[in-house]
Structure 1
Amino acid sequence: METFFLFDEYFKAIPLLKGIPEAYNKYVIKGAIGYHAKIDERSIMLFQSIDLGEIEICISHYLVNHPMKIFCTADCESLELHNMIQGEAQYRLKGFEWRRIKAGQHNLIYLTNVKNETYFKGNTTITFDIHLSKELLQQLANQYPKLHPIWNKIKKEENGSLYIEFADNSAKSMHFIVRIMELLYQEGVGNPQIKLWAMDLLKVLLEADALPSKYRYSYEDIKTIDHAATMLIAHQDEKNVLANQLRKSHLNADKFREGFRLLFGQNPKQFLLSKKMEQVKILLGKGYTLDEICERTGYSTVSHLEEAFVRYNGHSIGSQRKTKK
């Protein structure tokens, strides 16, 4: 970040300072390298980077309270997967015309050097970017033909992008962003799962077209559905857990069901049943009685448990116990 320079719309330099001010501690990711740029008394930009070797995750919060234009320059090349997860903005990157990006959109962009203009409408904007090495992009280009045009641009040292405009994120790709963000804010930068999910995100965005969907899913929608899935597992012993999570989600039932299918390959009812059956097998292996298992998995009677188990697994609980022996 030391090589980046920021200017306001009057080309007055905006100092880029190390660290995140204490007043914004709720945005801090433990172990990330932080910078901030105070634009005026009402607006500030927070930048945090996580170095993972061949990739670097950069999370930026633009806490802008009124419309403004910001210029950014850097005498270095840039290769990044740019994701907008909240808000919207307009960009004019070096070599490109003005483009508008909204929450839930992305693009892979290569610049020989940075000379960008960004127009903020005056709302909070959050971006999630993955900076790639050219070596990694070449490896990915060998696997994904859709990268060939931008890789050819890079080899010629010309500016280029994967899409002419910004493309919509699929629910599945947004799910990886949610998971990475949640893990970063819960544990900090040290968990190796972060890099694995970041690589998965890259591959999901480069693979075949996403599953068809009736609804568009925001970052908050995906976060809500992911949280509901966690709660279904944690509270599977509760009789009305599915209805409770649907109510708390504030999503309509059809979107809630479709979201589960897109993220987990199952509707919520199927998802809950699969988790219950996993738990039943674990508890059987530990020697729990059927009454105890009913209590822990939300079945009102042993007969209901046994019927559900046979329908799901194709064999009885007795057969399951004999197999384990």
Structure 2
Amino acid sequence: MNDLKLYDDRHNLLTIEAGIPKKFNNHRIPDAAGYHVKVGSNGYMLFQHIPGALWNIWISHYLFTKNTTIYCVGSIDGVEFHNILEGNALYKNGDDEWQHLKEGDHNVLYNHTVRSTAKFHDSPLVTFDVHLTIPAFKTLIADQPAFREWISYFSSGINARLYQEAGSRNLPLQAMIMQIVDKCKQAGFDSNGNRQLLRQFLDSILDNKSLDCSYKYSFEEIGRLIKAKERLGADPATRIKIADLYKETMMGHKKFTEGFKLMFGVLPSVFVLNEKIRVCKSLMIQQRDLTNDDYAMIMNFNSGSHFARTFKNIEGCTPKQFRKKYGLFKNRNNNLT
């Protein structure tokens, strides 16, 4: 925060103070370094920083009761991945054109010189930013070679949005952000580690395709889809009606199933079958005397033959062939088919 200076619409310098006011405890992130700026009678800006050696995260809330203009001057070292989680605002930097940034938009900035104007409304704006140092960013090239092209962009001085399309339909990226924010809120995020999570986040950014999707999904709806997946995976043996799930997520059947498939790669019904077979394979290792009928009863298949057909469709081999391949028979008389 020391590299930035903030001014109100009368160009008065605003004071950045440590801590989050108690009245905003519902926005507080455990273990984060918090800062706030009071903008006269208009409202507050809250900034929370989760530091790390590998990547730094900033979650910011702009909470105004009336239309407000904020000017910002300074610089941001390294690479910044900037994402709008909620709300919208008008923004311009230097002589750039005005941009209407809204939920789902994201951009990438490099060694960013800030001379910006932002116009906020009386509704909350929430942003999520990931900051990487230049050395840390360059180490990622081995894992994500596509970043080599980005460095050529950056070297040419292109610091504006690399993506002209909104990311509101990039559901994998939105889901990754949701998971990271939830980890931060639960004090379960270690930004010194979580290298795999960072790779997945950056992979989602690189795969910024405009998906052929009939619907737009809010971050709240994405959160509901994640919870639906977790519920299905928690106890795959329990019969859960898909109709009940899409009602719980407050979506129609088509929107729920399309969003689920876009985020997780399969339809909800297929996901359940995959989870059932995953559990059965684990049981094959632990209990080698179970029959197909046993698995059918344990995991709620219609019959032993139904279990065997499903297993072959997913694994490409019968249960017997799977056990033979991995030496999982208890004795030679095992009658699995």
TM-score, normalising length from structure 1? 0.85
Could you report, residue by residue, the CA deviation over 1:256-309 in whole angstroms, capped at 9, with x for unpaired residues? Answer: 222222222111111111011101221233228567755653336555444433
Letter in 1 for 2:159: G
Q: Residue 247 and residue 145 in structure 1: after superposition, are their counterparts in 2 closer, same or farther (change >3 A)?
A: same
In structure 2, how many angstroms separate the alpha carbons of the residues matched to 1:314 and 1:164?
40
In structure 2, how many angstroms separate the alpha carbons of the residues matched to 1:76 and 1:306?
58
User: Quick check: 1:152 aligned with 2:155?
Assistant: yes
Unmatched runs of 5 consecutive residues or more in structure 2: 330-337
Letter in 2 for 1:104: G
In the other structure, the counterpart of 1:91 is 91
In structure 2, how many angstroms separate the alpha carbons of the residues matched to 1:223 and 1:126?
16
TM-score, normalising length from structure 2? 0.82
Alignment of 1:151-300 (within 5 A): 151-154=154-157, 160-163=159-162, 165=164, 167-169=166-168, 170-190=170-190, 194-207=194-207, 209=209, 211-287=211-287, 293-294=295-296, 297-299=299-301
Could you report, residue by residue, the CA deviation over 1:57-100 in whole angstroms, capped at 9, with x for unpaired residues? Answer: 11111122321111222256564111111111111112422211
In the other structure, the counterpart of 2:315 is 313
The size of the alignment, in residue pairs, is: 321
In the other structure, the counterpart of 1:124 is 124
Which secondary structure does the structure 2 equivalent of 1:324 belong to?
coil
Alignment of 1:16-35 (within 5 A): 16-35=16-35
Deviates more, 1:47-56 or 1:260-269: 47-56
Letter in 2 for 1:92: K
User: Quick check: 1:64 aligned with 2:64?
Assistant: yes
Instruction: Determine if contact 2:77/2:110 at 8 Å carries over to the other structure.
Output: yes
Letter in 2 for 1:189: F
Which secondary structure does the structure 1 equivalent of 2:186 belong to?
helix
Taking only the aligned residue pairs, the percentage that are identical comes to 26
Could you report, residue by residue, the CA deviation over 1:234-272 in whole angstroms, capped at 9, with x for unpaired residues? Answer: 132322343321221112222222222222211111111
Q: Residue 305 and residue 206 in structure 1: after superposition, are their counterparts in 2 closer, same or farther (change >3 A)?
A: closer
Q: Residue 313 and residue 54 in structure 1: after superposition, are their counterparts in 2 closer, same or farther (change >3 A)?
A: closer
- Give RMSD over aligned pairs: 3.0
Instruction: Determine if contact 2:42/2:68 at 8 Å carries over to the other structure.
Output: no
Deviates more, 1:96-105 or 1:145-154: 145-154
Displacement of 1:55 after TM fit?
A: 2.8
Instruction: Determine if contact 1:46/1:60 at 8 Å carries over to the other structure.
Output: yes
Q: Residue 41 and residue 304 in structure 1: after superposition, are their counterparts in 2 closer, same or farther (change >3 A)?
A: farther
Could you report, residue by residue, the CA deviation over 1:177-229 in whole angstroms, capped at 9, with x for unpaired residues? Answer: 11111222223432666443233322332247354333333222222211111
Letter in 2 for 1:308: T
In the other structure, the counterpart of 1:104 is 104
Which secondary structure does the structure 2 equivalent of 1:266 belong to?
coil
In structure 1, how many angstroms separate the alpha carbons of the residues matched to 2:307 and 2:267?
20
Which secondary structure does the structure 1 equivalent of 2:97 belong to?
coil
In structure 2, how many angstroms separate the alpha carbons of the residues matched to 1:171 and 1:37?
32
Instruction: Determine if contact 1:104/1:217 at 8 Å carries over to the other structure.
Output: no
In structure 2, how many angstroms separate the alpha carbons of the residues matched to 1:215 and 1:286?
43
In the other structure, the counterpart of 1:81 is 81
Letter in 2 for 1:106: H
In structure 2, how many angstroms separate the alpha carbons of the residues matched to 1:164 and 1:206?
10
In structure 1, how many angstroms separate the alpha carbons of the residues matched to 2:208 and 2:129?
21
Unmatched runs of 5 consecutive residues or more in structure 1: none
Instruction: Determine if contact 1:78/1:113 at 8 Å carries over to the other structure.
Output: no
Letter in 2 for 1:220: E
